[in-house]
Amino acid sequence: MSTDDASADDPADDASERRPVTIYSDFVCPFCYLGRASLRQYREDRAERDLPEVDVEWQFFDLRGHKRGPDGEIRDDVNDGKDEDYYDQVRENVVRLREEYDAEEMLAFDEVHDADSWDAQQAALYVKQSYDLDTFREFYDAVLEAHWEDGREIDDLDTLAELAESVGFDGAEVRDAVDDERLAEELESQFEAARERGVTGVPTFVADGHAARGAVPPEHLQRLLEGV
């Protein structure tokens, strides 16, 4: 998989065909929320050009895994080289992209709960395996929006159960899924598979062996998926 700042080296075969894209994402990443907003703009543009829908496959990524201790808890004392200047830049970029991508409903970076997304991703993995694609997408969107629009605690089981019920299935299923050791092992395997594929940050968009990382603008997604 080759990675650049959003362009593909070879043109897509035919922009009129349905285009698959895999997106690696973590609920707690602000740029994953913004990347979804950019993708939405690109999809709207395709619709205006009478092109087929983009087939999106969401994959999981443990953004804060390097801070996770042996007990599974996130450790704030781990030095990851990100100082206050780094986070100031993140805040500035979030504000800029929020306006650029018409995502004004997104809360400010410092207004959201400092969550560990493991349980939410494990719940989403259960939904992906157990229900149809539409239900998975609804649940995925519900969790992402609960975190970045409503400031809810997505690492709280009651919250995840309520979100499950909001998209039409029993919240008890999510509670059971979060306690399922088999699912936990499979989620860890998917995190490892992402790393082995060279995914080091999110969001990462992958199509036809090429990748674009970050909340890239719609025209970069067009280049990635259409080669133009």
77 or 183, greater pLDDT: 183
Burial of 78 (0-12, 13-18, 19+ CB in 10 A): exposed
What is the tens place of the pLDDT at every residue in 125-160? 999 999 999 999 999 999 999 999 999 999 999 999
- Closest C-alpha among 11, 42, 3 to residue 219: 42
Does residue 217 have a cis peptide bond before it, meaning omega lies within 30 degrees of 0? no
pLDDT of 71: 73
What is the tens place of the pLDDT at every residue in 30-63? 999 999 999 999 999 999 999 999 999 999 999 9
Domain that holds residue 122: 2-226
**Are residues 214 and 39 in contact, defined by beta-carbon separation less than 8 angstroms?**
no
- 204-207 vs 54-60, strand pairing mode: unpaired
The Cα–Cα gap between 196 and 219 comes to: 28
- What rounded mean pLDDT belongs to the chain? 92
pLDDT of 228: 76
Q: Averaged over 16-25, what is the pLDDT?
A: 89
The Cα–Cα gap between 1 and 209 comes to: 5
CA distances from 143 to 2, 38, 46, 58, 119 (A): 30, 18, 26, 13, 11
**157-166 helix and 118-130 helix, angle to the nearest 10 degrees:** 30
**Are residues 186 and 124 in contact, defined by beta-carbon separation less than 8 angstroms?**
no
18 or 56, greater pLDDT: 56
In which band, very low, low, confident or very high, does the pLDDT at 213 lie, cut at 50, 70 and 90? very high
The Cα–Cα gap between 44 and 122 comes to: 30
CA 40 to chain centre: 13
Q: What is the CATH number of the domain that holds 114?
A: 3.40.30.10
What is the tens place of the pLDDT at every residue in 155-165? 999 999 999 99
pTM, two decimal places? 0.90
pLDDT of 8: 36
What is the tens place of the pLDDT at every residue in 70-126? 777 777 777 777 888 999 999 999 999 999 999 999 999 899 999 999 999 999 999
Domain count, the chain: 1
In which band, very low, low, confident or very high, does the pLDDT at 1 lie, cut at 50, 70 and 90? low
pLDDT of 73: 76
pLDDT of 124: 99
Tokens 């409903």, residue located:
105
pLDDT of 15: 58
